[in-house]
Amino acid sequence: MFPLILLYVVLTIIRPQDYVEGLDAVPILPVVLLMAFAAWVVSKEKTFEAPQFVILPAFLLVLMVSQATNGWAGGAVDELARFGPVVVAFFIFGASCGTQQRVRVAMGVFVACATVLALHGVEQAKLGVGWTGIPLGEGNRIQYVGIFNDPNDLGLLFAATFPMAVFLGRRGAGALRPVWLVAALLLLYGTYLTNSRGAMLAVLVVAGGYIWYRKGVAVAAVLGVLGLAVLKALSSRMEELDAGEESAAGRVDAWYAGLEMFRDNPLFGVGPGNFTEYNDLTAHNSFILVLAETGFVGFVLWLAFVAYGFLMMLKIVRFQRPVDADPAIEAAWTTEKQMALTLLLSLCGLFAAAFFLSRSYMVVLYLIAAMVAGYYVGARRRWPELPMFRLSEGGWRWVPTGACSVFALFVLVAFLLRTT
């Protein structure tokens, strides 16, 4: 099961089927996922102990209901075919990431794949075209194939995998540590080549989160301001980081349009994939996209799904265990906290970038979320004193939390519109 789902991750990110002649006619991804699913069915490693394993199928059901309530009953079946494989991959990958060693391997696969895409971008920047045959995008921004044909999507991947590369460079096998550190530098350079403002801000959020953890909020705030100044000096697009700039203003208008869609269809939204039926631009915000397309019901589920991952990693990072007399146990707990911090920072980078992109249904997002959920389930088995998260205990709180989040989005958009 684990090798098969890792192969699925590799094919999902590197995507040779999208540019190698002859492979485009072969359903490689569905076949590999089906094989991994068959292995999962007969495996004894299945787990349903995290709330995400309940929430994600419920979110899929809402996607289907949303299509039906918007007058297209057949859209429910299409939605099952489109998002169903993402749910299956989540279950398989989550069940596969129950040990520290497997999480290390999974991190390594993500970093290696992201590094391949970064090297493609370096070649693209140097020669004007990469080995996939894809040229530089508008504004000399690097891009890839398939789901990464947008420079912003590349930047999202780089920002999410950068903390993993640093962790492996510090805590990986001794001989490979320099390799992972070089990969981390390549991911940073790749982020620069994407010239994606969202990705650059996401990397800044990752760095700020780490400094906050190590040095406190005051130091993180000061260095964050300095980091933003450096980014503005490095990138011409960062110099235009203002709500009144044409591109940014277009995004704010799209956010406003999304909130209008929600107001007109508050329960189940306008239907997944239908945002651009009501607005020329996509939402450019994963949270608003979910709110507009799946309504309050889908938004609450998606918000809970995302938040549980953060809460789980924060619980490990902040958990205070009595000092153990056995040095081996203390070393194991230290590694546990460092691994949790790494995944927490990856989530910060992922969703900081997703806040400026419409990537609510992107498979890579759910694969990383699966790694987080599976890792926490495994951590509880190793450290039974860690609490179990249950929807039956306080799950109702996500309804008022979702309502407050919607209100905050309305306030944010109203403020940005006034500054445009």
How many Å apart are CA 237 and CA 233, to the nearest integer?
10
383 and 315 Cβ atoms separated by less than 8 Å? no
Q: What percent of the chain has pLDDT over 70?
A: 95
> Per the structure block, which two tokens stand in for 332?
């194991």
**Quick one: pLDDT at residue 139?**
83
Long-range contacts of 176-184 (CB under 8 A, 24+ apart): 180/108, 180/111, 183/111, 183/112, 183/114, 183/115
φ, ψ of residue 230 in degrees (nearest 5): -65, -45
* 219 Cβ contact partners less than 8 Å away, ≥ 6 residues apart: 211, 212
User: Which of the residues in the chain have pLDDT under 50?
Assistant: 239-241, 243-245
How many Cβ atoms sit within 10 Å of the Cβ of residue 359? 24
Helix (H, G, I), strand (E, B) or coil at 286: helix
DSSP one-letter code for 135? B
**Quick one: pLDDT at residue 268?**
94
Residues in the chain: 420
Beta bridge partners of residue 135, listed in sequence order: 129
CA angle (44, 312, 389) in 5-degree steps: 70
Total-model pTM: 0.92
Nearest to 253 by CA among 282, 293, 287: 282
DSSP one-letter code for 23? G
> Per the structure block, which two tokens stand in for 385?
């004193």
261 and 270 Cβ atoms separated by less than 8 Å? yes
Per DSSP, helices labelled H in 15-73 are 28-42, 52-69
φ, ψ of residue 225 in degrees (nearest 5): -65, -45
How many Å apart are CA 387 and CA 405, to the nearest integer?
26
Buried b (16+ CB within 10 A) or exposed e, 125-164: beeeebebebebbeeebbbbbebbebbbbbbbbbbbbbbb
Nearest to 133 by CA among 16, 10, 29, 12: 16
**Quick one: pLDDT at residue 243?**
47
How many Cβ atoms sit within 10 Å of the Cβ of residue 40? 21
Question: What pLDDT, in 10s, does the model give residues 29-38?
Answer: 999 999 999 9
**Quick one: pLDDT at residue 26?**
83
φ, ψ of residue 135 in degrees (nearest 5): -85, 175
**Quick one: pLDDT at residue 247?**
61
